[in-house]
Amino acid sequence: MATAFSPAQIMKTNASDLLRDLDLTDDELLHLLDLAAEVKQSPRDYARALDGKSIALLFEKPSLRTRLTFELAIKQLGGDALFVDGPIGVREPLKDVARNLDRWVDGIVARVFQQATVEGLAEWSAVPVINALSDLYHPCQALGDAQTLREHFGDLKGRKVAFIGDGNNVAHSLMLTSLRLGADFAIGCPEGYTPDPDIVAQAEGLAAVSGASLLITHDTARALAGAHAVYTDVWTSMGQEQELVKRKKSFHEFQVDDELFAQARPDAIFMHCLPAKRGEEVTDSIMEHRRSAIFDQAENRLHAQKALLLMMLS
Ligand code: CP
């Protein structure tokens, strides 16, 4: 059966790995989002694309969405997923782990504490390595988020994405991806929780090219004014549990509740990467709001990651 994207039409990524959002070129990102939309519409057309391929999933941190959407994506594309949890590079050196996997599998998906771990896996193995979350980036989340934003708003040029909360890995990837797609991006965060300066420098470069604007502020009203999407994430990410009490105090004014959400556009959608702590960064009423897109985002992780696997491995 003919597909909108025959195997020959699927663009191979120039980069051998996806360790950071900017490893994909602008053209590759746009192609991936078009392919993800097509895969979502006609999943059976791609059922044999990874025939005979095995992909290792190495997870140092817990996961519901990332693990299941990668396992399902690989299975629905005809490949095999092999899951291993626990620390990477403790029982034996990282470079030995990478070189073992290199002999067995066709790709590695890794969820890690430190960005250096995915970088090391990529350095010591020839197979593609996909960052499934590190301390700095969550590129696969941003791909599903971009697909969701395009479903709601079409072309993102001239739209505005507002992130309220911690300038963390999810905020970094969302910031980079939104700006590349031409959307204005604002983050409203407490003092001491602004995004990483090196990643902000990358974002400023992207904004200069796309013409989109970047705002980093401690004033939530400024961040939310005119926003088409209001995004938040937990105040205390995995591995920061010892900062829980301090963070609850610092983020107290940054909860997305009815009052804050009403400061965005009247048609704004609510977004969250999940898992959420209801009653902390977001209220129950916003999670359940009719303009909440959180489960669209969760679903699109599957389609966007399928498109990524097709571009890197098929
Ligand atoms: N959003 C996300 O990465 O979810 P998990 O932690 O459940 O994988």
Report the separation in Å between the CA atom of 275 and the middle of ligand 1, taken as the mean of its atom positions: 6
On whether the CB atoms of residues 50 and 312 are closer than 8 A, the answer is no
Residue with tokens 């599998």: 105
Beta carbon of 63 within 6 Å of any ligand 1 atom: yes
Q: Domain boundaries in the chain? A: 7-138+301-313, 140-297
- Catalytic residue (choose from 23, 135, 145, 233): 233
Give residue 2's pLDDT band: very low, low, confident or very high (50, 70, 90): very low
Atom of ligand 1 nearest to the CA of 69: 8
Give mean pLDDT, residues 283-304.
98
Kindly report the average pLDDT of the chain as a whole number.
Answer: 96
Percent of the chain with pLDDT over 90: 94
User: Does the domain made of 140-297 have the CATH classification 3.40.50.1370?
Assistant: yes
Active site residue 138: yes
- Catalytic residue (choose from 135, 141, 172, 305): 141
- What are 81-124's pLDDT values in tens digits? 999 999 999 999 999 999 999 999 999 999 999 999 999 999 99
Report the separation in Å between the CA atom of 64 and the middle of ligand 1, taken as the mean of its atom positions: 6
Beta carbon of 300 within 6 Å of any ligand 1 atom: no
On the question of pLDDT at 8 being above 90, the answer is no
Q: Which of 238, 271, 273 to mutate to test the pocket of ligand 1 (most atoms within 8 A of CB)?
A: 273
pLDDT for position 179: 98
What is the topology classification, in CATH, of domain 7-138+301-313? Rossmann fold (3.40.50)
Indicate if 140-297 has the same CATH topology as 7-138+301-313: yes
Percent of the chain with pLDDT over 70: 99
